[in-house]
Amino acid sequence: MKTLKDLFLDELADMYDAERRIVKALPKMAKSATSAELKNAIQSHLKETQGHVKKLEQVFQSFDEKAKGQTCEATVGLLEEGDEIAADFKGSPAINAALISAAQKVEHYEMASYGCLHEWAGLLGNIEAAGLLEQILEEEKAANESLTELARASSNEEALGESDEKDAEERADKRSGNLRRGVRPVSASRNRAGSMSR
């Protein structure tokens, strides 16, 4: 019968594979970014991710296990999707917003995984492993928060594709005058059609 320790070691092997794949993927993502801030954020997280690989090796050692990976299908899929997004939006004003979206999907998967691993390490009584996994979890949360801030500060607005300041000002004026921001007004003809179908 499989135990919590077996589950923990399986998930640990999954994340060890995931982190090594992410180390290879991040330089390509940084190259695709057109924002200097996003490039810097990705390169900074690359260094952290390399550290995560080492920390996971320490976690394996704390359980007297040899570090080994097993293919993390979720990360394979998320990184493939990231490659497709980068190719589809190359040269587009939405490229940075697209890259942030792809990166955040990976971050959220990692946060969920490390949250479980941290809890399980504690239940298994391995304080060293729990501490290392908590460090990784906190770094993933911080990376995700940085990406959110970058998206809100510039990338999402850039994705609208309007670089002209006058257009940006007009959009801001329209938004401030419309309390139901993001909702298009319903035309009279559409409204009648809607009421007839009820």
Q: Which amino acid is at 118?
A: H
Q: Given this model, what pLDDT does residue 176 score? A: 53
* Sequence ranges of the domains in the chain: 4-163
* Backbone angles phi and psi of 158, in degrees to 5: -60, -35
Better-scored residue on pLDDT, 184 or 85:
85
The label of the residue with tokens 């949360």 reads: 141
Q: Are 12 and 73 in contact (CB under 8 A)?
A: no
Which CATH architecture is the domain 4-163 placed in?
Up-down Bundle (1.20)
Under the banding of pLDDT at 50, 70 and 90, the label for residue 169 is: low
Under the banding of pLDDT at 50, 70 and 90, the label for residue 186 is: very low
Q: Are 19 and 106 in contact (CB under 8 A)?
A: no
Under the banding of pLDDT at 50, 70 and 90, the label for residue 162 is: low
Percent of the chain with pLDDT over 70: 81
Q: Does position 92 have pLDDT exceeding 60, yes or no?
A: yes
pTM: 0.79
Sign of CA dihedral 26, 29, 30, 35: negative
Give the model confidence (pLDDT) of 22-68 as tens digits. 999 999 999 999 999 999 999 999 999 999 999 999 999 999 999 99
